[in-house]
Amino acid sequence: MQYAWFHKDWNKFNASFLFLNNGLQNVVEEEIRYSQTFGSHLKYSASDALDLSANAYLQSGKDVADNDLSAYLIGLDLGYKASAKLSLGLGFEIQSGNDNALIGNKNKAFTPFYGTNHKFNGFMDYFYVGNHANNVGLVDIYAKVGTKLGNKSSLTATVHNFLAQAEIAPDVDKQLGTEIDVVYSHKFNGDVTIEAGYSQMFASEGLEVVKNNFDGNVNNWAWLMVTIKPTLFNSK
């Protein structure tokens, strides 16, 4: 792996540029196949209340199976602080994919190499967390609202609407489902924070086809996390 990264801050604007040359070994032919990922992350603070972020990346070269790679990711995120206690967000992300999840002569599926993928596309990790590689891609349209409950507590809710970027199968709609993520956070003191969350996925037929699961299960999870960050030593 070889990469080059550049970052620059201006007054209300910052930009990052990345080039990644990533080699994966084909275990059958014992050859290393290289792909190239390049693009930019941009952020603009229009005011103290409004900020805008954008991502745009391309992938080319070869995948590990020696197919030509031609893929992309684009995303846009808008954040608005309506008041001291209320914040709103709206955005989308598109990752390209392959029609019918078949690569053919060219692999059009974007791969988010080495990403903190649990942070994106919903907390239930249906997509790109050790899964969904070389598949039909993803369109994630989301809205979120956060509110402060006093000085130490907050509540955030996010709604994701998921669609396939490419064709899933003949006569199957691209709609994958809708996910709701709710997170509550309370800070007891400077050292201890407790967080709790609940997520529910309302799956569509398209998700059943992609995941090859047709038994109509209810899809949800809840979690609880305690974070302790003690100050063990302090010195001037």
Question: Which tens digits make up the pLDDT trace of 21-37?
Answer: 999 999 888 899 999 99
Mean pLDDT of the chain: 95
What local confidence, expressed as pLDDT, does residue 231 receive?
Answer: 87
The 10 Å CB-count burial string (b at 16+, else e) for 205-219 is: bbbbbbeeeeeeeeb
Q: How far apart are CA 71 and CA 48, in angstroms?
A: 35
**Can you give the residue ranges of every domain in the chain?**
2-228
Tokens at 23, concatenated: 């080699």
Is residue 121 a contact partner of residue 144, using CB atoms and an 8 Å limit? no
More confident residue, 200 or 214: 200
Average pLDDT over residues 39-49: 94
Sort strands 13-26 and 31-45 into parallel, antiparallel or unpaired.
Answer: antiparallel
Is residue 99 a contact partner of residue 146, using CB atoms and an 8 Å limit? no
What architecture does CATH give domain 2-228?
Beta Barrel (2.40)
Please name the residues in contact with 83: beta carbons below 8 A apart, sequence gap of 6 or more: none
Q: What does pTM read for this prediction? A: 0.91
pLDDT over threshold 90, residue 214: no
What local confidence, expressed as pLDDT, does residue 215 receive?
Answer: 85
Average pLDDT over residues 202-216: 91
What local confidence, expressed as pLDDT, does residue 94 receive?
Answer: 98
Question: Which tens digits make up the pLDDT trace of 152-161?
Answer: 999 999 999 9
Which residue's structure tokens are 């609407």?
A: 161
What local confidence, expressed as pLDDT, does residue 57 receive?
Answer: 98
Q: Is 201 helix (H, G, I), strand (E, B) or coil?
A: strand
Average pLDDT over residues 75-89: 96
